A and B are shown apart, each in its own frame.
Chain A
Amino acid sequence: MKITVSVNIGGFSFNIDEDAYAELKRYLKNLEIHFADEESASEILSDIESRISELFRQKLTTFKQVITINDVNEVTAILGSPEDISDNKGPSAREKFSAPGAHRMYRDTDHRIIGGVCAGIGAYWNIEPWIIRIIIVALTMAGGLGILIYLILYIVLPEARTTAQKIEMKGDPVNIHNIKESVKKEFDAVRKNMKL
């Protein structure tokens, strides 16, 4: 048994499995980001949506009334991935993609309490340093492990001195490729949750 959602694609209403919906939404979002530079992006996308609608309609019969994840995968294979479709971005864009900006863990001495270890971890994972500090303190009180971890990290992690290192510590600058990646990760996570 699966939950379905009702969607309007190209003026037609479809019942679509929840996981199939997540995949389709991810695909369309990717296309949208890919055509973001194009002046008639919305027109291209609505044309592609009409085609998706047409291909979906061919997949439905009286005995098969719901669009499944397989249908979505077949249709997106016919239409092609955003990289295949747009011609202005060659392999260079794809290379850029697979090698995102460096993201390293440093000690953040700008926001330190002792040596900047917890602040650095917080900056790396983008979480509040106090959460890390509480964990370290808790581990210290529960047998002294916290101090050991802190000392090892203090020795292992270099201090973020230059601006470049400080940027590396926080991760990638926000650009279109990162957004695309994070959208993909988000939907992959949604998909995994739904399978459970």
Chain B
Amino acid sequence: MDLENTKAQMRKGILEYCILSVLSRDSCYASDIIKELKEAKVIVVEGTLYPLLTRQKNSGLLSYRWEESQQGPPRKYYELTESGRNYLKELDKSWEELVESVNLIRKR
């Protein structure tokens, strides 16, 4: 068993959920999302985010719009779609169940 690998697998699983959670508050562009995920230490290398965002967008959970920016070229702002919100609600539920289950086992 490789500890780093196990940790990475755990993080990968929740990363998708965290991205949707960040976007549930407000629409963001990729670097804002990265900032939050880095502060929360759920992401190690930034590159991981981009394929996930694109996949979530392709499956209809996210949409994006281009917005002008003061500091540079236009930015891609992502936001949750209606189906994204429903998806997130399901994930919220399953996350709480998971935490409960793990706690139950750990405290036994």
Contacts and interface: CB of A to CB of B under 8 A. Distances in A.
Given A40-B58, A53-B72, A54-B31, A47 B45 contact: no
Contacts, number: 66
B48 interface: yes
B72 A12 contact: yes
A10 B31 CA distance: 14
Interface residues of B, number: 21
Nearest to A88: B51
A90 B51 CA distance: 16
Interface of B: 5, 12, 30-31, 34, 44-48, 50-51, 53-55, 58, 71-73, 75-76
Q: A-side binding surface: helix, strand, loop or mixed?
A: helix
A71 to B, nearest CB: 15
Contacts of B31: 51, 54
A87 B12 contact: yes
A143 interface: no
Given A53-B72, A54-B31, 18 more contacts: A12-B73, A35-B51, A38-B51, A40-B55, A40-B58, A47-B50, A48-B47, A50-B30, A50-B75, A50-B76, A51-B30, A51-B31, A51-B50, A54-B72, A57-B71, A77-B45, A78-B46, A82-B47
Contacts of A51: 30-31, 34, 46, 50
